Amino acid sequence: MTPLLEVRGIDKSFGPVQVLHDVTFAAQAGEVTALVGDNGAGKSTLVKCIGGIYPIDGGDIVFDGRPVQVHGPRDAGELGIEIVYQDLALCDNLDIVQNMFLGRERRSGLVLDEASMEELAAQTLDGLSVRTVKSIRQQVSSLSGGQRQTVAIAKAVLWNSKVVILDEPTAALGVAQTAQVLELVRRLADTGLAVVLISHNLNDVFAVSDQIAALYLGRMAAQVRTADVTHAQVVELITSGRSGDLGIAQ
Amino acid sequence: MNKVKELPGEAIVTAKQSPSIGNSVFAYIERVRGGDMGALPAVLGLLVLCTVFAIARPAFMTAINIANLFTQGAAVTVIAMGLVFVLLLGEIDLSAGFASGVCAAVLAVTLTNMGLPWYVCVVAAILTGVVIGTVLGTLVAKVGIPSFVVTLAAFLAFQGLVLVLVDEGTNISIRDSVIVAIANKNLPVWLGWALFAACVALYAAVQLIRARRRAKRGLVADPLSLIGARVGALAVIGGVLVYVLNLERSRNPAISSLMGVPIVVPVILVLLVAWTFVLRRTAFGRHIYAVGGNAEASRRAGIGVDRIRISAFVICSSMAAVGGIIAASRASSVDPNTGGSSVLLYAVGAAVIGGTSLFGGKGRVLDAILGGAVVAVIENGMGLMGYGASVKYLVTGFVLLLAAGVDALARKRAAAAGLR
C-alpha cells in the first residue's frame, strides 16, 4: 500500500545549522504513526516543513502518490494536511463553534451563517463521539485541558482533512484526560485518516500507534511497526540512533 | 487502553431543549460569578449615581438636564465607540482625543474659511480620520512600534497640528445650520416616537426571526419569554427616555418651544447598530475578537492579523472624526482645545467603565455608550452639586481606576473559574 503522506530525503538548515539530514518518513491512511525523538531531534521542524511553515532545502513531499509543493499553511490545508500545535492555537475568548471555524467562517452574503456552522460543529463532535462539553456555545476559556485539545483536534478534522498531525497532544494533560485524547486519536485513525502523533511519552506511543518513526539528531533512525519492537529498543533508537541491527549504520 | 470515564457534571453535547427563562437567568448569574461581568458594573453604577444625584439635586432629574446629558456626553461616547475596536485588540489609542480635534479643525477650516458645502466638509473630516488611522495602524502593525508609543507621539503631534490648522490659536466659529443642528437641535415630537416604535419593532423582529430560524434547524433557541423580556425592557427604558425628552424644556414656552429627542441620539443609535452588526455578525468582526484573544492562533488560522490591526485603528480614528464633528457642532466653534484636555481620558474611561477589557478580546460597542453615560452623569451631576473641576477629575479618575480594577479582578476570577 502506498503511504498517503511520504517525505523523501528532506534537508533543512537554519543558517549554518543543519536540522534535518535526508529525512524519510511515511504515514499510512488508517494508521497512527508516532514520531518520536529527543529534544532537538527535529520532530517539530519536520512537522513545520510538512505544514508549509518552513520551506524545505531539499527532498520531496509526496502526497497520495504524487509529488507536491507546499509553500504555506494554506497549501497544506488544501491538500488536507492539518496540524494541531502544541500550544493549541485556540482563542480563549471565542466559543467552540467560533474556534472551529476560525478563519474559514461560513457566510450567507455578508453575514455569518451561525446556524450551519453550529450544526456542522455539532456533527463533527458527535462523529468523534465527544460527549464531554456542556454546550458548543461555551467559551473555550471555560474548558479543561483535555476538552481544549479535543476542540483543537475536532477543528482539524472538520475540514475533510486526510492527514492530521498532532504535536504533543497529551503533554499538559492529566491521566484521565490523556486517556480521553488518546482514545480520540485512535478513533481518528479508525475513520481512515492518516494520523501522525508526536510524543515524548512512550506509554502513549505504544498505546495507540501502528508505526513508530524515531528521529535522532536530525536523521531518521528507523521507522518500524510498533508490534515488532520493544520499549527498550525504541528508547535506544531515541537516545543513540541505533538498536541492534535497527537504526543508523555506524 | 482504559475506557474513559464520564467526568461528573458534564452533560452530553447535543442537549437541544430550549432553555427556559429561569435557566437563562441562572446561566447569567453563573457567568457573572465566573468573572464575566459584562456591562453589570456600568449599569449598577449608573443607577447608583443617578439615584444619589436625583436625591441631592432635584434639578438633576429635570427634562432639560436629561437632554443636556445626551448632548454633553455624545462626543466622548462616539470616540469611545471607536476606541472599543482598538481596545478589543489589546492595543490603545491615546491620540483619539486630539485626532478628533484635528478632524474638527479640518471641518471648521473647510466649512468656514473655504465656504464648502457641509457634506463635503464632513467627508473631508472623516477622510482625515481614515488617513490618521491608516498611518497609526501601519506603524503599529507593520513597523511594530507599540501602540502606546505610536499614539503617545501622535497625541503630542496632533496638538501641534490643531494649532497649525486653526492658525495658532484663533477660534473658528461654525455657522452652517446643518452642522450646528447635530448637537443643538431636536427631532419633532412625532418623529421621536416614530423612531422609538421603529427601533423596538426592528429589535423584536430581528430577535424573533433568529430564534425561529434556529428552532427550525433544531438548534438551541432563545425562548419567547426571554425575547419578550428583552423587547419589553427596551420598550420601557426607551419609552421613558423618549417621553421625558419630548416634554417641554423651555423656561418660557410662549416665546420659544424646546422639546424633542436631540438629533445626536439617533446619530449614536445608527452608529451603535452599524458597528454592533459589524462586530457580531460579520467575519471581520469575528476576526477582531480572535486577534484580540490570541493573535498567534489567528495568524495560524489564516487571518490577516496586520490588516485587522490597521482597520481597527482606521475605525477608531474615523469615529474620533465623527466625535470631533459632534463636539464642533455643540460648541459651534473649533479652537485649539477641541478634543483636548480630558476628552481622551473620558473616552478611554467610558469604554473601560462599560466593560471593555484593556487586555483585549472582550467588549461591545454598547459598552462605550453605557460607560459614556456614567462619565456624562458624573460630570453633569458633580457640576450641579457645585463641585469644581478638581473634584470632577478626582472622581472620574477614581471611577476609571475602579473600572479597570474590576476588569482585572474579573479576569483573574475568570481564569480561576476556567481552570476548575
B168 pLDDT more than 80: no
Q: What confidence score (pLDDT) does residue B418 get?
A: 52
Cα–Cα nearest to B360, from B305, B304, B417, B418: B305
pLDDT of B411: 76
| Chain B interface includes A132 (CB < 8 A) | yes
Q: Give the gap in angstroms from C-alpha A213 to the nearest C-alpha of chain B.
A: 21
CA distance A77 to chain B (A): 10
- Rounded to whole angstroms, the Cα distance separating B277 from B274 reads 5
Residues of chain A under the 70 pLDDT cut: 86, 88, 131, 250
Q: Residue A98 is nearest to which of B286, B303, B420, comparing CB atoms?
A: B286
Mean pLDDT along residues B359-364: 88
Closest C-alpha to B324, from B106, B71, B87, B69:
B106
Whole-number pLDDT of residue A111:
87
- For chain B, what is the mean pLDDT? 86
A91/B415 CB distance under 8 A: no
Task: Report all structural domains of chain A as residue ranges with CATH numbers, in order of start.
Answer: 5-90+160-247 (3.40.50.300)
Indicate the range of A14-23, B5-14, B133-142 predicted with least confidence.
Answer: B5-14
Contacts of B294 in chain A (CB under 8 A): 89-92
Assign B124 to helix, strand or coil. helix
Hunting for cell 460569578 — which residue is that?
Answer: B33
Beta-carbon contacts of residue A140 (< 8 Å; ≥ 6 apart): A90, A91, A92, A93, A94, A95, A96, A99, A148, A151
**Would you state the pLDDT for residue B22?**
74
- Residues of chain B positioned with their CB less than 8 A from the CB of A119: 217, 219
CA distance A6 to chain B (A): 23
The pLDDT, as a whole number, for residue B30 is 75
Determine the residue among B13, B31, B357 to mutate to test chain A binding: the one whose Cβ has the most chain A Cβ atoms within 10 Å: B13
Say if the Cβ atoms of A92 and B361 lie within 8 Å: yes
C-alpha cell of residue A159? 475540514
- Confidence tier at B10 by pLDDT (50, 70, 90): very low
A87 CB within 8 Å of a chain B CB: yes
Determine phi and psi for A21, rounding to 5 degrees.
Answer: -115, 110
B8–A contact, CB cutoff 8 A: no
pLDDT at B11 over 70: no
Compute the distance between CA of residue B402 and CA of residue B397 in angstroms, rounded to an integer.
9
Cβ of B297 within 8 Å of Cβ of A135? The answer is no
B4 in A contact zone (CB under 8 Å): yes
pLDDT, tens digit (0-9, with 9 covering 90-100), for B369-400? 999 999 899 888 888 888 888 888 888 788 77
Determine the pLDDT at residue B419: 42
Please tell me which residue, B195 or B407, carries the higher pLDDT value.
Answer: B195
B254 lies within 8 A of chain A by CB = no
User: Per-residue pLDDT tens for B275-309?
Assistant: 999 999 999 999 999 999 988 888 878 788 999 99
Q: Are strands A66-68 and A58-63 parallel, antiparallel or unpaired?
A: antiparallel
| Predicted local confidence at residue B256, as pLDDT | 79
Please give, rounded to a whole number of angstroms, the shortest distance from the CA of B4 to a CA of chain A.
Answer: 6
